[in-house]
Amino acid sequence: MERAFSNVSTKGQVVIPAAIREKYGIGPGTRVEFIEEGPRIVLELDTIESRIQRIKALRGITAGGPSGTDLLLEERRLERERELREEGW
């Protein structure tokens, strides 16, 4: 892992060193994301590929839990029962 240093300006801006910008194709308008990882701050390019990876990482996180569809249907059923009671049914 290579290290590079930069200072934060009075406006909170940080210059990404030229060698890193060139290596990763970072230019004007390139969108980046700042991620907190404990005491570290990670700078990551916000690309279609990185977004797809984040979405793929979510796959299966609710496995074994209640079905979102079932929960929604139950909520709607209870709401309809309440409405019918209020209408005197």
Residue 5 domain-assigned? no
When divided into structural domains, the chain yields a total of 1
pLDDT of 10: 97
Closest to 1 (Cα-Cα) out of 25, 20, 16 = 20
What is the span of the domain harbouring residue 67? 18-86
pLDDT of 26: 94
Residue 6 domain-assigned? no
Q: Which residues of 38-53 are buried (b: 16+ CB within 10 A; e: fewer)?
A: eeeeeeeeeeeeeeee
Residue 24 domain-assigned? yes
pLDDT along the chain (89 residues), means of 10: 90 94 93 94 91 91 86 96 92
Distances (CA, A) of 1 to 4, 6, 17: 10, 16, 15
Residue 69 domain-assigned? yes
pTM: 0.54
Residue 37 domain-assigned? yes
Residue 13 domain-assigned? no
Residue 35 domain-assigned? yes
Residue 71 domain-assigned? yes
